[in-house]
Amino acid sequence: MKKLINDSNDIISEMLEGIVSAYPDSMRQVEGTTCIVRKDAPVKNKVAVVSGGGSGHEPAHAGFVGKGMLDAAVAGEVFTSPTPDQVLEGIKATDDGSGVLLVIKNYTGDVMNYEMAAELAESEGINVEQVVVNDDVAVEDSSFTTGRRGVAGTVFVHKLAGAKAEAGGSLAEVKGVADNVIANVRSMGVALSPCIMPTTGEPGFELAEDEVEMGVGIHGEPGIETKKLTSADDIAEELTENVLPELELNASDEVAVMVNGMGATPEMELYVFNRKVQTILADKGIKVHETIVGEYMTSLEMAGCSLTVLKLDDELKELLDAPSKAPAFRK
């Protein structure tokens, strides 16, 4: 195993220090915590949007901290939820009295710890709402979840809820946007190779050189099928044909598309994949309002990608187009 690290025990703290030192004008770390917040937090008269989760998914989640997206991101250890007290610090650091929305990916540890943090915050007089993202169409009730997993569609929740908060929406309105995105976003991923855990140096799962895992989770959880590697077009067609029926799209509908790299897939290959996705959508008469290609929700250095499709209405389209100053999602 080759890793560009110092001591594996220090990797999270050193990563967070490195993120803040890259963007010192826009974010800061809450002292003594694993929480990154907007430098101007708490923002007056604005609902705060707080998210986070296990590390290893960068740029998620700290890369989405900034004006127009998240007010705070709380980091756990690799593929491990942050503790309730860490999440509580993120809530307290960003609330100005307007309330806080927690965006949680549907993993058992995340849901439990964020709910505990919300209860602690409410006991201190902070108004907290929460939403749970469950956009993965591949697997129900996995080893990490009850119900469907929350994966790259979470990025769209960050963006649109963050834009609504930035526009001055109330806590109920910001939550309403997040709920609308969750109801209308679906994802599915494929892995070509496993990721290597930095603490152990061991792969998170096994795949032969000529195999792929269809429907893989962002922690390397099993998907729906291990099968022989086929062409990019074949894989794009399989993912698209699994995602689209979940959205019940009509020919007049508009969508946003995210082709998300898992950490070790060249953009060249992501664009080849996207080419086929766009062809399929055009053949079905579905209009693409915006396409985003790159790394947004990774799994260390896993090779592979995921496809996310968001069905848009007029409000969601306007919020998607709104400015963002988050380092990993600038508009």
Residues designated as active site: 57, 219
Q: Which of 291, 282, 284 is CA-nearest to residue 309?
A: 291
In three-state secondary structure terms, 82 is coil
In three-state secondary structure terms, 319 is helix
How far apart (Å, rounded) are the C-alpha atoms in residues 82 and 317? 32
How far apart (Å, rounded) are the C-alpha atoms in residues 151 and 87? 20
CA 26 from centroid of its chain's CA atoms: 20
Q: Rounded to the nearest 10 degrees, what angle do helices 267-283 and 232-243 cross at?
A: 50
Q: Rounded to the nearest 10 degrees, what angle do helices 171-183 and 314-321 cross at?
A: 100
Tokens (6 digits) for 151:
């994966």
User: Residue 261 phi/psi, 5° resolution?
Assistant: -75, 145
> CA quadruple 222, 226, 231, 237: dihedral positive or negative?
negative
List, as one string, the DSSP characters of 32-92.
TSSEEEETTPSPTT--EEEEEEEESSTTTTGGGBSTTSBSEEEEEEETSPPPHHHHHHHHH
In three-state secondary structure terms, 13 is helix
Strand order in the sheet with 225-228: 225-228, 211-214, 185-193, 303-312, 254-261, 287-294
Which residues does residue 281 pair with via DSSP β-bridges, in sequence order?
A: none
Tokens (6 digits) for 267:
């953009």
CB 174, CB 49: distance < 8 Å: yes
